[in-house]
Amino acid sequence: MQLSRIDLADLHVPTAIARAIFAQLETIDAPVPVGQIARALDIADIKTQVFDGFEGMLLTDTVRSAGSILANTRYGDQRARFTIAHELGHFLMERHKLSGDRGFTCKAQDMRETRAGQRQYRQESEANAFAINLLAPFKLFDPLLSQDPDLKDAQRLRDHLNVSLEATIRRMIDRREECLTAVWSRNGQVRYSVKSSRFPWITCKRGERLPHLSLAGKIVANGAKGFSSVTETNPLAWLSRSDVELFEQTRVANNGHAVTLLLADLADADDDEDDSGSLKELNAGFSISASAFPVTAWAFPVNP
């Protein structure tokens, strides 16, 4: 594989860099060969093994003459692929300032960073944006999405693209027009969540139990592994407002890990007031398949 960094030199936006790489490749198949791409762009060495204390590391200098990448495989090869792409992003975005004398050292939280405030947050967020655009380009991702939001799509895309389930769920939230939130939990306790821009804020916080009114809480307590159907739920289970239709779907995996997808049908609730200021009846106007999915067990990595 031959790639030129010269064609990338004046690009600083993560999505533009990924597109420029694909333009040089002309054709691309899944899974994206991230290791080959990195080596073709002057990454001299890639080492994947179990490391302690960091998720990924890029060894390089300030002018990015060459680089070496270390990726932690503790949580599986799919997550390591994302780490390699993340560190390659740091390497290609030459405006990123080294976090240490020898390059960049990134922890697990950096792989989820989306903030754009302080320089460190912005750099990690940009590296993540580059990674997902490299590993899950629209051309390979969008055709596998169903008509309605469904966690089964994320699992199918995980296997097709060879990236983590978390990455495909985040990408699905980004690519779909619906108002979505994903809530990751372990043993019924919220770990973190990701939402689309228009989705209302959920009331449960990190470290709290899944809402007792939620279907997710009951499904996780049951412990049966697999997917639930997409089912309408009480919006007050998750939100501080009742003027929306809310749907839930949960995937339960091994070791107490679960992820819940929330779909809010706002139905223009914010603009649906009459002259007296009272809310009109919401127009349902939205349908979603809620067909049951066989509950089966499968191997699941440590990371959700």
Question: Same domain for 25 and 88?
Answer: yes
116 shares its domain with 182? no
| Same domain as 36, residue 78 | yes
Token code pair at residue 62? 């300030």
Any domain includes 141: no
Nearest CA to 262 out of 247, 279, 240 is that of 247
Question: Bridge-partner residues for 242, per DSSP?
Answer: none
pLDDT per residue over 195-227, tens digit each? 999 999 999 999 999 999 999 999 999 989 999
Q: pLDDT per residue over 233-278, tens digit each? A: 999 999 999 999 999 999 999 999 999 999 999 875 555 444 433 3
Neighbouring CB atoms inside 10 A of 207's CB total: 9
Answer yes or no: is pLDDT of 290 > 70: no
What is the reported pLDDT for 300? 32
pLDDT at 268: 55
Closest CA to 54 of 39, 38, 73, 40: 73
Summarize the confidence of residues 185-193 as an average pLDDT: 96
Is 98 found in the same domain as 65?
yes
Quick one: pLDDT band at residue 32, thresholds 50, 70, 90?
very high
CATH of the domain at 206: 3.30.450
Q: Within this chain, do residues 129 and 193 fall inside the same structural domain, yes or no?
A: no
Task: Give tens-digit pLDDT for 67-86.
Answer: 999 999 999 999 999 999 99
Residue 293: predicted pLDDT: 30
| 81 shares a domain with 118 | yes
Strand 103-106 and strand 56-60: pairing?
antiparallel
224 and 196 inside one domain: yes
| Tens of pLDDT, residues 127-141 | 999 999 999 999 999
Q: Give the number of other CB atoms < 10 A from CB of residue 122.
A: 15
Domain membership flag for residue 295: no
Q: What pLDDT does 288 receive?
A: 34
Within-domain flag for 281:
no
Residues 131 and 12 in one domain: yes
Residues 85 and 173 in one domain: no
Task: Supply 157's token pair.
Answer: 């895309």
Q: Average pLDDT over the chain, rounded to whole?
A: 88
Cα gap 95→11, rounded to integer Å: 10
Q: pLDDT, tens digit, for every residue of 82-127?
A: 999 999 999 999 999 999 989 999 999 999 888 877 989 999 999 9
Supply the CATH number for residue 98's domain. 1.10.10.2910
Q: Verify that 123 and 174 share a domain, yes or no.
A: no
What pLDDT score does 28 carry? 87
| Rounded Cα gap, residues 44 and 51, in angstroms | 20
The count of structural domains within the chain is 2
The confidence score (pLDDT) of residue 29 equals 92
3-state secondary structure of 300: coil
Q: Quote the tokens at residue 151.
A: 């966690």
Question: Whole-angstrom Cα distance, residue 110 to residue 98?
Answer: 14
Looking at the domain assignment, is residue 201 inside a domain? yes
Check whether residue 76 and residue 106 sit in a common domain.
yes
Query: 256 in the Ramachandran plot: left (φ > 0), alpha (ψ -120 to 50) or beta?
Result: left
Last residue of a domain, one of 109, 135, 161: 135
Average pLDDT over residues 11-33: 94
Per-residue pLDDT tens for 231-241? Answer: 999 999 999 99
Q: Are residues 124 and 66 in the same domain?
A: yes
Q: Tell me the residue range of the domain where 222 lies.
A: 151-271
CB atoms within 10 A of CB 236: 14
Written as one letter, the residue type at 83 is T
